[in-house]
Structure 1
Amino acid sequence: MIGERIRYFRKLKNITQKDLADGICAISYLSKIENGVATASEEVINMLCGRLGLNSEEAVNEFDGGLLRVLTQFKGNVKNRNFSEAEKLISELNDVIQESQSQEIRIQYDVYLFGLYVFTGQVKQSTIQYQKIHQTSIDLLSQWPQIFFDYYYYLSLYLCRKEEFHKAMKCNEKLIGLMKLIEISEIEKGRIYFNQAWLYTHHRLYFQSIQVARNAIESFEAEFDIENLLDSLILIGVNQRRIQDYYESEKYLKRALQLSEKLQKTHTIAITQHNLGYLYSDMGRSLEAIDQLQSAFQSAQLSGNELLCLIYLLSKEYMKLEQFEEAMEWCDKGLSLLNTYPYREYHYHFHLQYMEIRNVENEQYEETLREAINFFEKEQLNQYVVEYAEKLANYYYQNTKYKKASELYRLANKARQN
């Protein structure tokens, strides 16, 4: 029926009933036309089609109600992340989609199939679908704001999976601009803001990340999306520590901890305790740092990089307190875990920590510091460049190698400014 077709093309072009009906008919009358309750005159139909950029013949010929209903179900399942239900519809759609005379329908299917492949981690199929869209449809997508927006959302996630983070960040910036043009849920807004905050963090743009993550928090709070809210609180807390705004960092991390404990989310509790321990370590509050880090360790919720970081921090804090036996105990734990989690960063941390606890300052210590500085310079982890450059400078100074010491102090100051 013509009303169903008008509704289809109106939604496809992201036009509201108010805008379509303006100057043609009442909004309530348009609603009745779309729902088949009222039969409009040929003049009204022609005017509505004209505003949609169609003629009445196109509205009839380019529309298949049955196909649209299946495609709408498929699109809804992808957007709502009901992936198993979406996959059940693929074979049915593949049989008829290419026969459709509607270019919009074919492009719409390609975009949401791309989204399904991205969400479900099917990298090869995602790449094939991306190339197909890029070669055949990319210049046409801007005609349909909703499809255009969803395509760039899926593209951002796809680029993250491929670890093309700079491209993903630029793609997400475009998405945030497009949000003003279409209607999307607060949860969708929050996810886009959070993804951008994470990408800014990856590029060490901490101030920008904090600003965007606050937008994410507003969206997640509006929809009571606790999981994503917790992730956003922790991300802000971590980045506030990185820019040395310790008061704000503690505020966000404590809020995350209180909410996690209330909801009994054990993994999130451990993550937050770990980050509070890291914060207190940076603040020189060793006893509080140890308390939080010990709690996180006892939960047995952490692994990999997070677990190595936690153990290294515990060893450091005991070292600061001159409790060398406890420091060595945790250092030995870290060294033994390097076989399971061979992170190069912690290879240097633990081996240097071991030598310092044992008060070993020899050529091996010098060489390991040199290797560590070179590694952290390449990784652009400037806080460790500062730490180890200053340690090596002190070593040279104590051994009356003043020229080398001066070079290392300059390197540390340069890294501190970056």
Structure 2
Amino acid sequence: METSPYIASTFYETKYYILRTCFLLRKGLIEEAKSTYENEYLPMIKNCSVPKEVLTYEYYYLGGRNLLDENPLESLRYYKIVLNNTDSPSFKGIINYNIGLSYFKVNKLEESLTYIKKASESYLLENKQKELADTFNLMGTVYIKKEELSVASKYLELGLKIAQQYEYTSVKSRILHNLAIINKRNEELSSAINLLEKSLSLKVDINNIIITAIELIEVLIIKKEVRKAQHYINKIEQDINKLSPINFHKFLLIRGKVYLKTGNLEQYIKDYDAALDFFLEKEIWKYIKLYTEEYGDTLFKYRKYKKASEVYKLTLLSKRKD
């Protein structure tokens, strides 16, 4: 099909819609971003030759969408195209950060650190303190995954110092969450709970709250504070309809654990089955790998041998796929 000429007015209008899409995504307005992309941007570029600048922003959006949809290999593909197509040091910092995050999600930790450090260098040169604090937080997260907790703590404390100095509330909440994970690993559970509750108090959006709430409930279960864990389950359920599909099904897993601790095996199985069916359909293997072995052990303990066997098969499959 022959492409139509790309006139200047169309260029600016199309650029506006793709930039708006990217802005909405960065603000966390995911459905609005998706709607703008599909209903405003895509119809405008149909049968048109899309300029490189506009296409670069489109790939940036697609990288972000895939990252949110737990598809980091696709996000890497898009972000690397964007990185090769931009000369802006500021934009390169953002893209290097996102590439580092994508590598982290596929457990390529050395590659992750390489790109995160490039991002931190960009932010240092441009004196972007908020982005620098966020980068130190991500660096700390990678070192937690590497089991280098003292190094992780060093970077998290650097980020926290910046976040406190400039009152970057959202960054501070994420750093407190990760410091709590270090305390949890060190079996300092009361300190972990304290930090997680501080982190929760700084969060507003339910899809950010749920990440810390899940971690907090996990620690409370370990401490056998089931009533308090149930309290946080009840709070999340008040806004359950606002959860993204992925976060909703992650919530089912932690709610299932609380059900099990309160003796409700039937509801535990119902929640776990619903969550695992979703992750299997979406081929998000890391959650299947993370939860199925424990689920199989529980089913086996309660003499549900046939179902346990099916769940163990999922565990083996997830280890090959992840």
**TM-score, with length taken from structure 1:** 0.58
Question: Is 2:117 aligned against 1:117?
Answer: no
**2:288 matched residue in structure 1:** 385
Question: Is 2:260 aligned against 1:356?
Answer: yes
1:287–1:380 distance in 2 versus 1, CA, 3 Å = farther
**1:291 matched residue in structure 2:** 194
1:176 to 83, 91, 107: 83
Q: What is the letter of the counterpart of residue 412 of structure 1?
A: T
1:159–1:288 distance in 2 versus 1, CA, 3 Å = same
Cα distance in structure 2, aligned partners of 1:152 and 1:273: 37
Secondary structure (helix, strand or coil) at the match of 1:397 reads helix
Q: What is the letter of the counterpart of residue 18 of structure 2?
A: V
5+ long unaligned stretches in structure 1: 1-102, 139-147
1:134 to 40, 44, 49: 49
Give the greater-gyration-radius structure (CA): 1
Please report how far the alpha carbon of residue 212 of structure 1 lies from its aligned counterpart in structure 2 after TM superposition. 1.8
**1:75 matched residue in structure 2:** none
C-alpha contact (below 8 Å) 2:181/2:192 kept by paired residues: yes
Secondary structure (helix, strand or coil) at the match of 2:49 reads helix
Which residues in structure 2 correspond to 1:106-255 (within 5 Å)?
114-121=14-21, 123=37, 124=39, 126-127=41-42, 130-131=45-46, 133-134=48-49, 148=52, 150-160=53-63, 169-178=76-85, 184-198=87-101, 200=103, 208-242=111-145, 246-255=149-158
1:323–1:233 distance in 2 versus 1, CA, 3 Å = same
Please report how far the alpha carbon of residue 218 of structure 1 lies from its aligned counterpart in structure 2 after TM superposition. 0.9
Cα distance in structure 1, aligned partners of 2:153 and 2:283: 26
**2:177 matched residue in structure 1:** 274
**2:298 matched residue in structure 1:** 395
1:344 to 248, 252, 256: 248
After superposition, give the CA deviation of every residue in 1:271-307 in whole Å (9 maximum; x if it has no partner): 22123334544564422321211111233x3321221
Secondary structure (helix, strand or coil) at the match of 1:322 reads coil
Cα distance in structure 2, aligned partners of 1:320 and 1:162: 34
**1:6 matched residue in structure 2:** none
Question: Is 2:218 aligned against 1:303?
Answer: no
Please report how far the alpha carbon of residue 317 of structure 1 lies from its aligned counterpart in structure 2 after TM superposition. 1.0
Cα distance in structure 1, aligned partners of 2:62 and 2:280: 26
Please report how far the alpha carbon of residue 217 of structure 1 lies from its aligned counterpart in structure 2 after TM superposition. 1.1
Q: What is the letter of the counterpart of residue 354 of structure 1?
A: V
Q: What is the letter of the counterpart of residue 119 of structure 1?
A: L
1:257–1:409 distance in 2 versus 1, CA, 3 Å = same
5+ long unaligned stretches in structure 2: 22-35
1:376–1:242 distance in 2 versus 1, CA, 3 Å = farther
Q: What is the letter of the counterpart of residue 215 of structure 2?
A: L
1:220–1:107 distance in 2 versus 1, CA, 3 Å = farther
C-alpha contact (below 8 Å) 1:335/1:351 kept by paired residues: no
C-alpha contact (below 8 Å) 2:221/2:229 kept by paired residues: yes
C-alpha contact (below 8 Å) 1:318/1:327 kept by paired residues: yes
1:291–1:254 distance in 2 versus 1, CA, 3 Å = same
After superposition, give the CA deviation of every residue in 1:216-239 in whole Å (9 maximum; x if it has no partner): 111111111123223333333334
C-alpha contact (below 8 Å) 2:119/2:135 kept by paired residues: yes
Q: What is the letter of the counterpart of residue 223 of structure 1?
A: E
Question: Is 2:232 aligned against 1:317?
Answer: no
Please report how far the alpha carbon of residue 189 of structure 1 lies from its aligned counterpart in structure 2 after TM superposition. 2.4
Secondary structure (helix, strand or coil) at the match of 2:57 reads helix
Cα distance in structure 2, aligned partners of 1:302 and 1:353: 25
C-alpha contact (below 8 Å) 2:140/2:156 kept by paired residues: yes
**TM-score, with length taken from structure 2:** 0.73
Q: What is the letter of the counterpart of residue 359 of structure 1?
A: G
**1:15 matched residue in structure 2:** none
Please report how far the alpha carbon of residue 388 of structure 1 lies from its aligned counterpart in structure 2 after TM superposition. 3.5
Number of matched pairs: 296
C-alpha contact (below 8 Å) 1:386/1:412 kept by paired residues: yes
C-alpha contact (below 8 Å) 2:99/2:115 kept by paired residues: yes
1:329 to 231, 236, 242: 231
Q: Which structure is higher in RCO with an 8 Å CA cutoff and minimum separation 6? A: 2
1:280–1:338 distance in 2 versus 1, CA, 3 Å = farther
Cα distance in structure 1, aligned partners of 2:280 and 2:307: 18
1:176–1:188 distance in 2 versus 1, CA, 3 Å = same
Cα distance in structure 2, aligned partners of 1:108 and 1:252: 47
